[in-house]
Amino acid sequence: MFKQIAFMNKTIIVSNRLPLQVSIQEDSLEISPSVGGLATGMKSVHTEGNGIWVGWSGIPEGALHAELSEKANQRIREEKCVSVPLTNDDIEEYYEGFSNRALWPLFHYFMEYTEFEKQEWEAYRRVNEKFAKVVLEHLEDGDTVWVHDYQLLLLPQLIKQEKPNTTIGFFLHIPFPSYEIFRTFPWRKEMLKGMLGADLLGFHTYDYERHFLSSVKRILRLDVNFNNISYHDRIIKVDSFPMGIDYDKFYRAAVEHNSKPKEKSELQKRLEEHTLEDKKLILSIDRMDYTKGIPNRIKAFEYFLDTFPEYKEKVRLVMLAVPSRSNVPQYQKLKRETDELVGRINGKFATVSWTPIWYFYRSLPFDDLIDLYISSDIALITPIRDGMNLVAKEYVATRTKGNGVLILSEMAGASQEMNEALLINPNSFEDFANSLKRALTMPLKEQQKRMKFLQKRLKRYNVEKWAKEFLKSLEEAKQPKNAFVVKKLTSAYEKEIVGQFHQKKKRLLLLDYDGTLVGFKANPQDAEPDQELFDLLDRLQSQENTRVVLISGRDKETFQRWFGDKEYTLVTDHGVWLYQDRNWTALERLKNDWMESIRPILETFVDRTPGTFIESKNYSLAWHYRTADPELAKSRTIELNTVLTSMVANNGLSILKGNKVIEIKSSNVSKGRATNQLLVQDDYDFITVIGDDWTDEYMFEEVPNWATSIKVGFTKTKAKYQIESPEKVRQLLQKFLEN
Ligand code: GDG
């Protein structure tokens, strides 16, 4: 039995494209595995046990006749892959449309290229649902799912809602933009919630991680603790995992190319000619994408030749631009611009024996790629924005002799871990020109020293290690070791409590108000009781031998106005006042002259923190920051706490940190003391106490062991049980009324 369960657990990898190429000639079908970085990194995960890969095969639905299509699927399955059927419309709207005309430019800070089309957004959702359907068909209990990249941002949530116990990881291969960019996105909330279906979210760099967390805090207003997000009853981990390359593969290929004479390709012959001419070769390789900074690089190269004319006829830029997304207009425009620029600059500088730029618009076989890498003295990798950039890493891996210089844009994620490269701002032509000059004159010793450092890191943190680290972290995210255990009120416990309620003879219900019976509003005065709540409480109070107590930090006047004509007992101001038999009595005798010195301090905080305000009560002052910027509020609360701590100690005051509120009140007032005074009034044999706030913990502590204490929300608590929301509290109370 055990064996079988262990055997069944598998990892399902999901990405837009499957790691294979399907090619069809007439009626014959060829399937070859693709050799990209991701496929290599995931290889062991994919081939282990029952692992499968879910994605699109590259062939639109209906493109093949039934028989061939079945044959293709059969072959795809043999590769442990499952294809998601996509129509031509899906590809046009979800892939070329929403993914590449909205998300790609937005996440790379190209706002002027970003198109927000509702129809394409809907297609994106629809296709994410298609992916979810296929994943769910293959998902078994205990399986792990690893979702990749920006085409599938909604998928984690779509899986989680159907199978909450599945462990889900998500990795974003492109940058996550700053909040100021991301906030412009019309469907920002849905998008973030989609991602939060995952248990672990991975990014290439700490900056992307930071940007993501900042959007989560500001847009969804969720609590973030270091890199953990509290979301419903889950803790979601966010971390950075810089993707590596298959280092050994590139290194070995380079060693082979350097040693073995073989049939020479056209490219190789030209590269050799070039070496004979004793010109230095500068290489750039990118997909033809506007994020890669191709036109800028050409213009900067012109600037370099103008600034340092002694390098004319001494250097050559070899530029490989791989065709990409050529159906999207901006890519067509980029292609035209590049062609024109290369033409103009070659025209401007060329001599009979020298063309400054060799430009290839095509993809090359792997062997030719290696030849390019090993023949180049300098790699000039200068994207305007790039999630990571693997080309930079591949260049380093092929420098088996340790020579060569990498010039790398600071805007590539890779720059974060490649400090020994010459890092430049790709928008500065001076940076370009000076770094090129520096690279061209760099002593061999220095080149080797820098390469050695770079290689050491890339070899160790290769793509396989990257995948392993991610999965290890995902495994930990599944059962957070140090996190507290949520004690969710299950339906079985609920039944038990309701059963007891009906049996017992002296019943006490101690209920907090805000966040327990009603949800939070931006302004506390707006959180008035509604008719449904009055009806519920009235009916509870009218049960025989039942006492309903509302116990709150609210002031006496507000509760008098709301509940003055009711039979329930009221405790206000955190336990200062008691309203019983329609009579107010003071539980504590208090002074409030301290307020004069504290209020001006709070006022300075209000002035400097937009969205915050002071609530003055009879015996306390509260500073509310629910609608303030969460990051600013966080630093202000620390500051306020420091300022207040020195003042309150000698005045018999204490500081309460509530739910988005800091309250200053007399030390000998607490809901706990008030609870005690109520408990001695009768011989209760049934007690249920419910609260959401930190201050309610005092009540949970005071009630006898056998009482039922319930915390609203899933943060740490002394209560016995936890429940989701005020709606759920009302549903529970409603059950007390049903026989
Ligand atoms: C995205 C993110 C992130 C290129 N031309 C040829 C060829 N290549 C190979 C390279 C390299 C890969 O393609 C390109 O990878 P990059 O990382 O440079 O860029 P993107 O395609 O934009 O990838 C990027 C990456 O995802 C991974 O997370 O680093 O930031 O944008 O491996 O070698 N391979 C062959 N012929 C070519 O002509 N065989």
Answer whether residue 94 is part of any domain: no
Give the CATH number of the domain where residue 622 resides: 3.30.70.1020
Query: Of all protein residues, whose CA lies closest to atom 36 belonging to ligand 1?
Result: 364
Q: Give the atom of ligand 1 at the shortest distance from the alpha carbon of 394.
A: 33
Are 626 and 567 found together in one domain? no
- Residue 635: both structure tokens together: 């630093």
- Predicted confidence at residue 187, as pLDDT, reads 98
Q: Give the atom of ligand 1 at the shortest distance from the alpha carbon of 390.
A: 17
Query: Of all protein residues, whose CA lies closest to atom 19 belonging to ligand 1?
Result: 389
- Predicted confidence at residue 650, as pLDDT, reads 75
Answer whether residue 298 is part of any domain: yes
The verdict on the CB of residue 368 being under 6 Å from ligand 1 is no
The verdict on the CB of residue 363 being under 6 Å from ligand 1 is yes
Query: Of all protein residues, whose CA lies closest to atom 28 belonging to ligand 1?
Result: 173
Give the CATH number of the domain where residue 277 resides: 3.40.50.2000
Q: Give the atom of ligand 1 at the shortest distance from the alpha carbon of 38.
A: 27
Question: Is 482 a residue whose pLDDT tops 70?
Answer: no
The verdict on the CB of residue 321 being under 6 Å from ligand 1 is no
When divided into structural domains, the chain yields a total of: 4
Task: Tell me the C-alpha distance between 562 and 513, whole Å.
Answer: 12
The verdict on the CB of residue 388 being under 6 Å from ligand 1 is yes
- Predicted confidence at residue 42, as pLDDT, reads 85
The verdict on the CB of residue 465 being under 6 Å from ligand 1 is no
The verdict on the CB of residue 386 being under 6 Å from ligand 1 is yes
| Residue 728 pLDDT level (bands cut at 50, 70, 90) | very high
The verdict on the CB of residue 394 being under 6 Å from ligand 1 is yes
Are 133 and 21 found together in one domain? yes
- Predicted confidence at residue 2, as pLDDT, reads 38
Q: Residue 374: helix, strand or coil by DSSP?
A: helix
Answer whether residue 552 is part of any domain: yes
Residue that terminates a domain, selected from 616, 631, 666:
666
Query: Of all protein residues, whose CA lies closest to atom 38 belonging to ligand 1?
Result: 363
Answer whether residue 95 is part of any domain: no
Are residues 161 and 82 in contact, defined by beta-carbon separation less than 8 angstroms?
Answer: no
- Predicted confidence at residue 6, as pLDDT, reads 45
- Predicted confidence at residue 275, as pLDDT, reads 67
Are 679 and 651 found together in one domain? no
Answer whether residue 477 is part of any domain: no
DSSP class per residue in 660-684? TEEEEEETT--HHHHHHHHHTTS--
- Predicted confidence at residue 3, as pLDDT, reads 38
Question: Is 485 a residue whose pLDDT tops 90?
Answer: no
Task: Give the residue among 700, 663, 723, 728 at the shortest CA–CA distance from 518.
Answer: 728
Distance 511 CA to ligand 1 centre (A): 59
Question: Is 476 a residue whose pLDDT tops 60?
Answer: yes
Query: Of all protein residues, whose CA lies closest to atom 21 belonging to ligand 1?
Result: 287
The verdict on the CB of residue 663 being under 6 Å from ligand 1 is no
Are 728 and 605 found together in one domain? no
Distance 664 CA to ligand 1 centre (A): 57
Answer whether residue 103 is part of any domain: no
Distance 363 CA to ligand 1 centre (A): 11
The verdict on the CB of residue 369 being under 6 Å from ligand 1 is yes
The stretch 730-738 carries a mean pLDDT of 95
The verdict on the CB of residue 244 being under 6 Å from ligand 1 is no
- Predicted confidence at residue 261, as pLDDT, reads 67
- Is 693 labeled as catalytic in the residue annotation? no
- Residue 140: both structure tokens together: 């078994």
The stretch 348-373 carries a mean pLDDT of 94
The upper half-sphere exposure of residue 193, i.e. CA atoms within 13 Å in the direction of its Cβ, equals 11
- Residue 348: both structure tokens together: 């401007």
Residue that terminates a domain, selected from 220, 240, 260:
240
Are residues 245 and 393 in contact, defined by beta-carbon separation less than 8 angstroms?
Answer: yes
The verdict on the CB of residue 242 being under 6 Å from ligand 1 is no
- Predicted confidence at residue 367, as pLDDT, reads 92
The upper half-sphere exposure of residue 525, i.e. CA atoms within 13 Å in the direction of its Cβ, equals 7
φ, ψ for residue 96 (rounded to 5)? -70, -35
- Predicted confidence at residue 479, as pLDDT, reads 56
Task: Give the residue among 661, 584, 659, 676 at the shortest CA–CA distance from 620.
Answer: 661
The stretch 391-401 carries a mean pLDDT of 97
Strands 315-322 and 280-287: parallel
| Residue 25 pLDDT level (bands cut at 50, 70, 90) | confident
Give CA separation, 157 vs 15, 147, 162, 232, 262, in Å.
15, 11, 9, 13, 52
Task: Tell me the C-alpha distance between 476 and 489, whole Å.
Answer: 25
Distance 81 CA to ligand 1 centre (A): 22
Q: Give the atom of ligand 1 at the shortest distance from the alpha carbon of 37.
A: 32
Q: What angle do CA 440, 442, 443 make, to 5 degrees?
A: 130
- Predicted confidence at residue 8, as pLDDT, reads 63
Are 177 and 310 found together in one domain? no
Q: 492 burial class (0-12, 13-18, 19+ CB within 10 angstroms)?
A: exposed
Task: Give the residue among 366, 123, 125 at the shortest CA–CA distance from 267.
Answer: 366
The stretch 682-702 carries a mean pLDDT of 94
Are 617 and 689 found together in one domain? no
Task: Give the residue among 202, 205, 238 at the shortest CA–CA distance from 222.
Answer: 238
Are residues 57 and 72 in contact, defined by beta-carbon separation less than 8 angstroms?
Answer: yes
Pocket test for ligand 1, best of 103, 146, 150, 287 (most atoms within 8 A of CB): 287
Q: 119 burial class (0-12, 13-18, 19+ CB within 10 angstroms)?
A: exposed
Q: Residue 23: helix, strand or coil by DSSP?
A: strand
Are residues 662 and 622 in contact, defined by beta-carbon separation less than 8 angstroms?
Answer: yes
Task: Tell me the C-alpha distance between 504 and 624, whole Å.
Answer: 40
**Residue 118, number of CB atoms within 10 A of its CB:** 9
Are 49 and 65 found together in one domain? yes
The stretch 618-629 carries a mean pLDDT of 92
- Predicted confidence at residue 488, as pLDDT, reads 87
Are residues 571 and 551 in contact, defined by beta-carbon separation less than 8 angstroms?
Answer: yes
Per residue in 645-684, pLDDT (tens digit) is 888 877 788 898 888 999 999 888 889 999 999 999 999 9
Distance 388 CA to ligand 1 centre (A): 9
Measured in Å, how far apart are the chain's first and last C-alpha atoms? 43
Per residue in 524-535, pLDDT (tens digit) is 888 999 999 999
The H or E element that residue 613 is part of is strand 613-616
The stretch 29-46 carries a mean pLDDT of 79
Range of the domain at 23: 11-86+127-240
- Give 100's DSSP letter: I
Are residues 109 and 177 in contact, defined by beta-carbon separation less than 8 angstroms?
Answer: yes
The stretch 44-54 carries a mean pLDDT of 86
Q: Give the atom of ligand 1 at the shortest distance from the alpha carbon of 362.
A: 38
Proportion of the chain in helix, strand, coil states, percent, rounded to 5: 45, 20, 35
Which position among 512, 555, 692, 696 bears the catalytic label?
Answer: 512
Are 196 and 343 found together in one domain? no
Mean pLDDT in the chain? 92
Per residue in 537-579, pLDDT (tens digit) is 999 999 999 999 999 999 999 999 999 999 999 999 999 999 9
- Predicted confidence at residue 481, as pLDDT, reads 46
Question: Is 5 a residue whose pLDDT tops 50?
Answer: no
The stretch 591-604 carries a mean pLDDT of 90
- Predicted confidence at residue 7, as pLDDT, reads 52
Distance 227 CA to ligand 1 centre (A): 29
Per residue in 134-182, pLDDT (tens digit) is 999 999 999 999 999 999 999 999 999 999 999 999 999 999 999 999 9
Pocket test for ligand 1, best of 21, 391, 410 (most atoms within 8 A of CB): 391
Answer whether residue 283 is part of any domain: yes
Are 236 and 356 found together in one domain? no
Question: Is 108 a residue whose pLDDT tops 80?
Answer: yes
The verdict on the CB of residue 285 being under 6 Å from ligand 1 is yes
Answer whether residue 66 is part of any domain: yes
The stretch 303-318 carries a mean pLDDT of 97
Give the CATH number of the domain where residue 717 resides: 3.40.50.1000
Predicted model pTM: 0.85
- Predicted confidence at residue 507, as pLDDT, reads 96
Per residue in 190-210, pLDDT (tens digit) is 999 999 999 999 999 999 999
Percent of the chain whose predicted confidence (pLDDT) is above 90? 78
Residue that terminates a domain, selected from 216, 240, 264:
240
- Predicted confidence at residue 619, as pLDDT, reads 85
Are 498 and 387 found together in one domain? no
The stretch 16-25 carries a mean pLDDT of 89
Are 169 and 182 found together in one domain? yes
The verdict on the CB of residue 243 being under 6 Å from ligand 1 is yes
Distance 394 CA to ligand 1 centre (A): 10
- Predicted confidence at residue 727, as pLDDT, reads 96
Pocket test for ligand 1, best of 360, 381, 388, 394 (most atoms within 8 A of CB): 388
Are 525 and 630 found together in one domain? no
